[in-house]
Structure 1
């Protein structure tokens, strides 16, 4: 069940990250979801490291760290995707 939630949260975080980032992202949706999942995990790790992973009420700081991780990874992932894929045109 945790994997299902990770995929759902990764999808949401990845889509929000795509909206936040300026310009057009060229990576496919499945790659955005993967980067969103990894960003969420990274944000949870940072929240645990600084001691704000479990607070009373809504964990806003943890959620913002997850989103920040997703934005960074989606941005870097898009640059890496374009570097690997190049500017090849399909006919």
Structure 2
């Protein structure tokens, strides 16, 4: 992966993580770095899930893949928030 691939993964992870965080009500006790990590992981996992279900191959599938990524990011942010609250 070249530099542009890493930068695009960071931008996509930030966007997916931020949107996933917006899905959750209330205040989350995780910072920007954990949101970024959750977003990048969710983007990768969401892409794998979309490919497993045959989505993301044109005809609006890219939007479905993005929606899956955002939902996975919301789950990841909620899990990280719960984990950090339990460890405090």
Range class of TM-score, shorter chain: 0.7 to 0.9
Partner of 1:41: 44
- Determine which of 30, 33, 58 is the counterpart of 2:33: 30
Please, what TM-score do these two structures have when normalized by structure 1? 0.85
Partner of 1:5: 8
Q: Displacement of 1:54 after TM fit?
A: 2.2
Partner of 2:58: 55
| Higher Cα Rg, which structure | 1
Partner of 2:19: 16
Runs of 4+ in 1 over 2 A off after TM superposition: none
Please, what TM-score do these two structures have when normalized by structure 2? 0.87
What is the Cα-based RMSD across aligned positions, in Å? 1.4
Matches of 1:17 and 1:52 in 2, distance apart? 20
Q: Structure 2: 5+ residue runs without aligned partners?
A: none
Structure 1 segment 63-78 matched on structure 2, within 5 A: 63-78=66-81
Q: Structure 1: 5+ residue runs without aligned partners?
A: 87-91
Matches of 2:7 and 2:61 in 1, distance apart? 21
